[in-house]
Amino acid sequence: MRRSTGARRSSGNARSKRLLAAVGALAVFGGIAAVTQISSAHENRRTTTRNVSSACVAPSPGATSPSGRGSTTQTWQNGRWVRNHWGDGQMSVAECQAVKDGNAPVNTVASGVTCPDVAGKLPRVPDRARAEVDRNLALLQNQIAEADRRLAAEGRNGQTFINNAILRPLEDKRRATLNRIATAIDRVGPRPQGLDQLARCTVAANNNNGGANGGQNGGQNGGQTGAPTASPTNGGQNGGQNGGQNNGGNNNGGNALGVLAKDCTNSDLQPHDGFQNGNRCVSTAFGEVGAAANNPSLLITQFPEQVQRNQAFALRVSTRNLIRDRFLAAGQGGYYLESSVLNDQGLTRGHFHTACRMLQSTDEAPSNPQDVPAFFVATEDGRGGNEADEVTIQIPGLPQSGTAQCAVWAGDGSHRVPMMERANQTPAFDVVRIEVN
C-alpha cells in the first residue's frame, strides 16, 4: 500500500515538473516572440497595415534621410522636383510614435503639405533669369519642408492651429517668393501672369500615394486593387493569385522543360503579404514586359573615385525607357504586390534605387547579403521617357574606411528589376567602386 501511494506521489511530482517546464517554455517563447516583434518594429512588417508595434525603434542605417526627417524628401533638380523615398518607406521614430499615439494614419508619409506645382506653370524661362528662378523654386520647396516639420511636430493641435500657424504663414512666404520669380522673368521677358494663385497650400488627409503623380496613379491603393492600366488578369495581388492558379500550376504549356512551378499552388510556404518577409510564396503575376527596344537601361555617368570618411558626394544617374512615376512603399506593404505595368508607349512604370555598401573583400562574393547598406534611397520624380535624362543622388557620406560598392538599379512599382524581352539583354543596373579613406 505504501509502495502504491509512493508511486502515485512520484507520478504526481513528475506531472508537476512537466507542467512547470511547459509553463517555463511558454514564458521563454513568449519573451522571444515579444523581443522579435519589438526588434522588427521599424520595418512595419505585419499581416495587416493596421497593426502597430508596441514600441518604436530607430530605423536601420540608411533608412532615413540625412536630416532624419522620415520616409520621403524632395529636392529641385534639373527643372523638376525629385522625390526620394528613404528606406523604401520605413518610418522614423517620430512617425511611428505619431501612429502609435493615434495622431497619424499608418500609411502616412512625411510630406503632408500639398502645394500647387509652380515649375510646371511657368512659361519658358529666359536663360538670363534661370539662376534666380531656380533659387526661388528651391526656396519654395524649403518652405514646404519647414511647414512639414511643423505639421509633424504640432499638427495634433487641430485644424484651426494648422490653418493659422502653418498654412497662412506658408501662403504669405510663397506669395513673396512667387513675386520674386515673376519679377526675375519680367526683367528679361514677358512677366508671367497668375502666379499668385499658386500660393495657397493644403494638408493632405492621407498622403500615401508615393510620388508627384501618385494621387492620379493610385499609389498604395492602386497596388492593392490593381493598377488602372493593367489588364484584369495582371491587376495587383488578387489578379496575380487568380491568374497564377488559373494557369494550372505546373502546366508546361506543351513544352518539355520540366517546369517545377508556375504559381504557389503546391508551395508549403505561406503567401507573401506585401511586406518584406522571406520564406513566403509570391502569387502576384509578373505583369507586362515591353519590347526589347523599349526595355529600361541605366548608367552611372558621374562618380568620385575616392572620398574621405563622412564626406558628402554625389552620383549622377542616367535612365532611359523608365517612367519614374510609380512607387508602392515597401515599408507599408507594397513589396512584390503589384504586377509590372507599361505606359501607353510600352515603357516600364517604376522608379530606381541607389545603395552603397562596404565590401569586406574584393576577392569573393559578400557573405552577409542581409546587411543593411550604409546608404539607400529610392528615387521617383514623375519624369523619364524614351530619351535619356539624368538625376543627381546626394549621398551624405560613408562612415567606414575601405572599398564602397555603390549600385543603382531600376525597379517597377513593386521594387522588382524590370523584365527584359530576351535573356541576353543587360538589365537596368550599374555599379561603381569608391575608395573611402
User: Is residue 413 a contact partner of residue 341, using CB atoms and an 8 Å limit?
Assistant: yes
In a domain, 358, yes or no: yes
For the chain, state the CA radius of gyration.
26
Q: Which structural domain range is residue 388 located in?
A: 58-65+269-436
Please name the helix (run of DSSP H) or strand (run of DSSP E) that holds residue 37, with its range, or none. Answer: helix 2-39
In a domain, 345, yes or no: yes
In a domain, 211, yes or no: no
Coil, strand, or helix at residue 240? helix
Spatial distance between the Cα atoms of 23 and 34, rounded to a whole number of angstroms:
16
pLDDT band for position 83 (50/70/90)?
A: confident
Which three cell numbers, joined as nine digits, stand for 334? 507594397
Please name the helix (run of DSSP H) or strand (run of DSSP E) that holds residue 3, with its range, or none. Answer: helix 2-39
In a domain, 423, yes or no: yes
CATH number at residue 394: 2.60.40.10
In a domain, 373, yes or no: yes
Within 13 Å of residue 327, how many CA atoms lie on the same side as its CB? 33
Axis-axis angle for helices 93-100, 127-154 (nearest 10) = 40
In a domain, 313, yes or no: yes
pLDDT band for position 366 (50/70/90)?
A: very high
pLDDT, one tens digit per residue, over 140-155 is: 988 887 887 788 777 7
Spatial distance between the Cα atoms of 339 and 330, rounded to a whole number of angstroms:
14
Cα torsion 367, 370, 371, 376: sign? positive
Q: Which residue has 506593404 as its cell numbers?
A: 333
pLDDT, one tens digit per residue, over 286-322 is: 999 999 999 999 999 999 999 999 998 999 999 999 9
Spatial distance between the Cα atoms of 47 and 317, rounded to a whole number of angstroms:
36
Q: How many domains does the chain have?
A: 1
pLDDT band for position 243 (50/70/90)?
A: very low
Work out the mean pLDDT of the chain and round it to a whole number. 75
In a domain, 253, yes or no: no
pLDDT, one tens digit per residue, over 386-419 is: 999 999 998 989 999 999 999 999 999 999 999 9
In a domain, 346, yes or no: yes
